[in-house]
Amino acid sequence: MKADIARDAIKRAAQSLFAARGIDAVSVRDILTAAGQKNGASLHYYFGSKDDLVVQLVIDGARLIDERRNARLDALEAAGGPHTLHEVMEVLILPSTDLGREGGEGDYLRFISTFSLQNRAAFDAIVGDGWNRGYQRCLDHIRRLSPVRPEVLERRLVFLSLGLRAVMTAREAALAANPDHPFWRPAETLDDLVATLVGMVSPAE
């Protein structure tokens, strides 16, 4: 339908602009121009306001990642797992890849990284517990499987969260510029990231 095409064009244009410039630096007119919309009221018609559009974009991506994580965890738990920290880290990482609507990495991680840095409280309020369940389930499995003392582990989980967001955002940006990036494209790079995260929640030797 024409309305669906217009809505999708606005969402794509807005997310791309927000990822590149940040939300505050992008106007409604910027979004409509990038989306090829001549009707100056179309964003308000479809979404209500720019803030409402931001909420929708955050939820769209968070829902996709959360559904992927929960599906992987459901399968592992049905088989009695996860049995290893390696399995859990794969669940944390892999659902955040290939987020582009037509293949590729897209720009969602850059968008939410910028947004959460500018307004962490607003970002947390949008995601809340509703679209973060898979992540929390992963943390519960890490707490179950890691031999690190609980008080130390909780600090390391903060480092893990911050590090994972930064690395995956850098990967997305690099692959957007060069889909065949020699460092970020090979599967071995994600394998090494999994091993790195496992090391973060393992005892120091």
Residue 103: predicted pLDDT: 67
Q: What is the pLDDT of residue 101?
A: 76
- Is there a domain that residue 84 lies in? yes
Q: Phi-psi bin for 8: left (phi > 0), alpha (psi -120 to 50), beta?
A: alpha
DSSP 96: G
Question: What CATH number does the domain containing 39 carry?
Answer: 1.10.10
Instruction: Indicate if 103 and 118 belong to the same structural domain.
Output: yes
- The verdict on 138 and 59 lying in the same domain is yes
Domain ranges, residue 93? 52-200
Shared domain check, 135 and 94: yes
Q: Are 119 and 23 contained in the same domain?
A: no
**pLDDT mean by block of 10 residues, the chain; 205 residues:** 86 95 94 92 94 95 96 98 98 95 86 90 85 95 97 97 95 94 96 97 84
Please tell me whether residues 101 and 186 are part of one structural domain.
Answer: yes
CA distances from 168 to 9, 83, 111, 128, 162 (A): 25, 24, 12, 21, 10
Residues 35 and 119 in one domain: no
Residues 95 and 177 in one domain: yes
Is there a single domain that holds both residue 109 and residue 146?
A: yes
- Establish if 103 belongs to a structural domain: yes
Buried b (16+ CB within 10 A) or exposed e, 161-196: eeebbebbbebbbbbbeeeeeeebeeeeebeebbee
Query: Which pTM value belongs to this model?
Result: 0.92
Count of domains for the chain: 2
Residue 5 lies in a domain: yes
Task: Compute and round to an integer the Cα radius of gyration of the chain.
Answer: 19
Do 119 and 158 share a domain, yes or no?
A: yes
**At 195, which CATH number?**
1.10.357.10
